[in-house]
A = this chain, B = another copy of it.
Amino acid sequence: MNLAADRAEAPSKARLRLWLRLLKTTRGIEGVLRERLRTEFGTTLPRFDVMAALSRAPEGMRMSEISGRLRVSNGNVTGIVDRLVSDGLARRVPAPGDRRAAVVRLTALGRDEFERQAAAHEAWIDELLSGIGAEASGRIDRALDALAEEETV
């Protein structure tokens, strides 16, 4: 029996524990966000994500761009966009330069509604991550950023 090896944890175990922690943290926070979006705004996380993508694209986005950006299926995006359109929050307009194609844009009402949701979302994140100081926050951000650049994820 190798007691020294038992005491010095294998790096792969430390990484596995970090992974499980990352997963638990993000799932926990996502659960809180999901619940608050539902109770405060009667909306869902995928719908919020679609509006967030559209809010950064004043020229509009094709359906395929939205689903590509969000890694959700075309079918789900279609349902979400249909609902946004019928709620008056988005509309379909001819694509600039290709009038046979359509892009989706937020309406003025949609932009206002998303701004309110985004401000609440930012405040919730600020509250939920308040246990992480500014310095630690920056360090974690840089470590994960370096990771993203190395990977082909």
Quote the shortest CB–CB distance from A41 to chain B (angstroms).
17
Of B11, B31, B143, the contact of A126 (CB 8 Å cutoff): B11
Q: B16 and A141: CB pair below 8 A?
A: no
Interface-located stretch among A78-86, A96-104, A131-139: A131-139
Query: What residues of B have a CB within 8 angstroms of the CB of A32 in the complex?
Result: 153
A21 interface contact, C-beta 8 A: yes
Chain A residues with a Cβ under 8 A of chain B: 11-19, 21-32, 71, 122-123, 125-126, 128-132, 134, 136-141, 143-151, 153
CA distance A137 to B18 in the complex (A): 7
Query: What residues of B have a CB within 8 angstroms of the CB of A13 in the complex?
Result: 122
Q: A22 and B144: CB pair below 8 A?
A: yes
Q: Is the interface of A mostly helix, strand, loop or mixed?
A: helix
Q: B153 and A131: CB pair below 8 A?
A: no
Q: A17 and B141: CB pair below 8 A?
A: yes
Q: A16 and B151: CB pair below 8 A?
A: no
Q: B126 and A12: CB pair below 8 A?
A: yes
Query: What residues of B have a CB within 8 angstroms of the CB of A26 in the complex?
Result: 22-23, 26
